[in-house]
Structures are given as structure tokens and as C-alpha cells.
Amino acid sequence: MRHKISWSDLPGQRVGVWGLGVEGRSTIGKLATLAVEPAVLVDDDPTAGGHDVGKVTATADGGLAHLETCDVVIKAPGISRYRDDVARLEQCGVAVVGGLGLWLQEADLTRVACVTGTKGKSTTSSIAGHLLRGLGATGIIAGNIGLPPYDPTITTTPDYWLIETSSYQATDLAVSPPVVAVTSLHPDHLDWHHGTENYFRDKLSACSLPGAQTTIANGDSDLLRQREELLGPHVTWVRLAEHTSARWPDALGLLGDHNRRNALIAAAVLQALGVPGAHDEDRLHTAAGGYNALLHRLQVVADVDGVTFVDDTLSTNVLPTLAALAAFPTRRVALIAGGHDRHIDYRPLAEGLRHRTLPTLVLTVPDNGPRIRQALLTHGAGTQAAEQPCDNQRQAVARAFEWARPDGVVLLSPAAPSFGQFRNYKERSADFLAAARLLARVPPGGG
């Protein structure tokens, strides 16, 4: 249920906080500014995240019963709307809300854009923020990419807000700003959303909530074009073929057509917001200069004996991994893929590899490496592609390096999250870089 409640409605209510990650801590801070003391603090795992465990109740150890005594429960985005315990709270008359939804209810929405998409939303939000500053406006990038916009440490009021919005957060919204951008669409987070179509509907829901007017959408996405009816009252399609003469995105220094499209979507967002100068190619080119790309997204991290090592560890499904491969159309690529298994379909990866004209080696690692390998074998990844199972990432990096010599690319673009072999994506990335640096100290032919 989507509740039309704002932060200013909470004083006088019995409020519970469920989930104490980044958003949960911001929620507690925001409540303090309203002189609201949380009636109960609940987390699925109170021992994680350095909480004061004595003040936090585990969901499965009485926490849910405590939440049932509240008028309003502010939940973390990671707690699925489809969980039985969420439904139970709603049945008890408890309003289960998210912090972003509370903030949007009373924000000046004419100064807000939400940026969503299976992949590309962080880069697009980052580019939009960089262009804003270059055009002489002030902007804050918030939401899934950084701090929630209601975090009390944010003390300035910018000209514009750019809110990266995840599919999890979208289910907590009751209103949308007039401008929403969708960078891509591909099955993801199916366990949270309980199925592909639920995910698509939830991901795109911000496009058609009350207040939504214009959706800036990736016009090169078949899945988005097939779901135009979910994209709100007016859609502005951004297609690469219609912007071939635009030179300003080159000044960003990003790899790949997908990042060029992300840049074009970012500019279209600013144009829809009415930012002065956003339609001027020369001003955009000047504004684009000096952009610092986000870490772990097609980031060149090492060059060893002519072999380029690229960290794209935040590519956690097939769509961005194929985009990463497409960024190297003239080089041999050794792709390292695999991680936590979310049971997504890897047939599109096999089909995408058929379009590679240069040799590609796919090295699969646990936990879902065997499933990826089976998809490649079953659906035929093309005559230029080969696959090789590995026990772990270090082994995959070493084998990839030997195969990629003398002038190829070793690409970590796993098409899966990091959980299982690593605690998080940062640990996976650090292991990749350490393996590359180790190889730099091994003489040719050495072991």
C-alpha cells in the first residue's frame, strides 16, 4: 500500500524504524530533528552494522510484534514489500512507509527528478549532477547513490535534486516528480519482487504516479518500448542514432555506447527541468569537462605487459555485462563472470556473445559459474567465444591474463552480485586489483 504521509505528519505518532542500514540511520537522525523518539528499533540482523544491539530487536525475535504496536513503520528499502511480515503489519492497520516517499510528499517537485533503471542510473545521476554544476546551477545527487535527501547532515537547499531511485524505493512512493528518467530495463532482483513482471511494474511505477508528467526513456531498449503504457502520460525517447552529431558527451571520457546514451539521458533530464543552458551543445561540452567517472564501472585499473585490466564489478546482471563487452569492439576480451546466484536467465549472455567478432574467453567463477557456463554451452555463444570454469577469482584472473596477452582486455563484469565469495562489491574489486598487481610482478612465463 502506498501511503500519502510526509515527515511533518509524524510528530504525535508512534513511529517504528525497521532496518538500520544507511537509510535507517538517516531516518533516526531525521526523526530527531522533528523531536520524535522512535518507539521501537528493529532489524533482521541486529548484530550487523555496528548497532547498539541492546536497543535493537531482531525481526524474528519479537521485533515484528513490537512493530505491530506502531502507527507508522519506516522501513529500509531492502525489506521487500512482498514479505509476509510487511503484509501482516498492513493488515494490523500499521502504515508501512519509506523515507524517500515521506520526503517526496512535501518536496518542491518542480525541482526534483528521479532517475531509475536496471543499470545506468548511478552514472546518469552523476553525469547530470556534474553538468548542473558546469552550467552554473547547484544540485544534490541523493537517494540510492548516496545519502537520502532527508538526511539531517544535508543542510543546504539546492536549485535541483537528482534522486537515484531503486526498484525497492519505488514501491514506497505515493507521488512522483514531473520528471522521471529510465536508463534501462532487464530482469533483476527477482527474489525481492517475486517475479519478472512484478519487477518491471515496480521499477517503472514512478513514471505514472500522481505528479508524473514526462518520462525520459532509453529508446534503444526493446523491453522499455514494449512497456510504453507503463511510462506515464508523456515519453521522451532517447536513441543513440538520433544524436550521432552530438560531440559534447566525448568530453566526459567514458567508455561504451551505453555511457554515451546515459549522458544524453542526463542532458534530457536537465532540459525537462528547465535548467538554463541545457539545450546548448557548446555549453554542455564545456560543462562535461573534468568529469570523474564512478568507481567500479568500466574503470581501467591496471595495464600489465600490454593487457588492460578493467573493473566493472557493479555489473550484476546480463545487460550491463553485454554493454561492457560492447565497449571493446576491436580488442580480444577475457570476461570474468559469476557470483551470487539470483536465478536470472543467462541465455541472453550467450546470444549476445554471438555478435562478438573478436575472440572472447568467458571464465566462470562460483557460486553461479556453472549455471552461466551451462547457458553458454546450451545456447551456443558463437564461434569466437570459449568458456573455462575456475575455482575462484584469483585463478580466473591468472588464466585470463595468460590468454589475453599480448594486447587484450581482462574484464571483471560478473553479471552477478558479490555475495558468497566476497562480503561486498568493494572486496571483490579489491581482490581483482590485487591479483592484477601480483601478475605485474611475475616475469613472463613465470608461475
| Model pLDDT for residues 188-234, shown as the tens digit of each residue | 888 899 999 999 999 999 999 999 999 999 999 999 999 999 999 99
| Residue 446 pLDDT | 46
Q: Which residues contact 122 (CB under 8 A, 6 or more apart)?
A: 144, 145, 164, 294, 297, 314
DSSP at 293: P
List the CATH number of the domain containing 54.
3.40.50.720
| Residue 442 pLDDT | 60
- Name the percent of the chain lying above pLDDT 90: 88
CA distances from residue 197 to 2, 121, 186, 420 in whole angstroms, order as listed: 19, 20, 11, 27
Question: What is the C-alpha separation between 36 and 276, in angstroms, rounded?
Answer: 40
Structural domain contains residue 294: no
> Do 62 and 107 fall within a single domain?
no
> Do 167 and 275 fall within a single domain?
yes
Q: How many domains, the chain?
A: 3
What confidence tens digit (pLDDT) does each residue in 91-141 have? Answer: 999 999 999 999 999 999 999 999 999 999 999 999 999 999 999 999 999
| Residue 380 pLDDT | 78
410, 397 contact by CB (below 8 A): yes
β-pair type (234-238, 299-304): unpaired
> Do 82 and 184 fall within a single domain?
no
How much is the mean pLDDT over the chain? Answer: 94
| Residue 420 pLDDT | 80
50 band by pLDDT with thresholds 50, 70 and 90: low
Domain that holds residue 26: 7-97
Q: Is 35 helix (H, G, I), strand (E, B) or coil?
A: coil
Q: Provide the sign of the torsion angle of the four alpha carbons 26, 30, 33, 35, taken in this order.
A: negative
Structural domain contains residue 446: no
List the CATH number of the domain containing 214.
3.40.1190.10
> Do 337 and 390 fall within a single domain?
yes
> Do 127 and 235 fall within a single domain?
yes
| Residue 383 pLDDT | 66
> Do 71 and 182 fall within a single domain?
no
Structural domain contains residue 333: yes
What's the CA angle centered on 141, arms 268 and 182, to 5 degrees? 40
> Do 84 and 179 fall within a single domain?
no
> Do 259 and 130 fall within a single domain?
yes
| Residue 440 pLDDT | 86
First to last CA, the chain: 59
The grid coordinates listed for 2 are 502506498
Instruction: Give the number of other Cβ atoms within 10 Å of residue 281's Cβ.
Output: 12
343 band by pLDDT with thresholds 50, 70 and 90: confident
**Structure-derived torsion over alpha carbons of residues 74, 174, 112, 281, reported in degrees to the nearest 10:** 130
> Do 186 and 279 fall within a single domain?
yes
pTM equals: 0.88
> Do 272 and 149 fall within a single domain?
yes
Structural domain contains residue 195: yes
> Do 382 and 403 fall within a single domain?
yes
Tell me the mean pLDDT in the region 44-51: 76
Residue at a domain's end among 76, 97, 118: 97
List the CATH number of the domain containing 306.
3.90.190.20
Tell me the mean pLDDT in the region 176-184: 98
Residue at a domain's end among 288, 313, 345: 288
Residue 253 has pLDDT above 70, yes or no: yes
Residue at a domain's end among 69, 97, 125: 97
Residue 447 has pLDDT above 50, yes or no: no
Tell me the mean pLDDT in the region 377-403: 90
270 band by pLDDT with thresholds 50, 70 and 90: very high
> Do 240 and 265 fall within a single domain?
yes
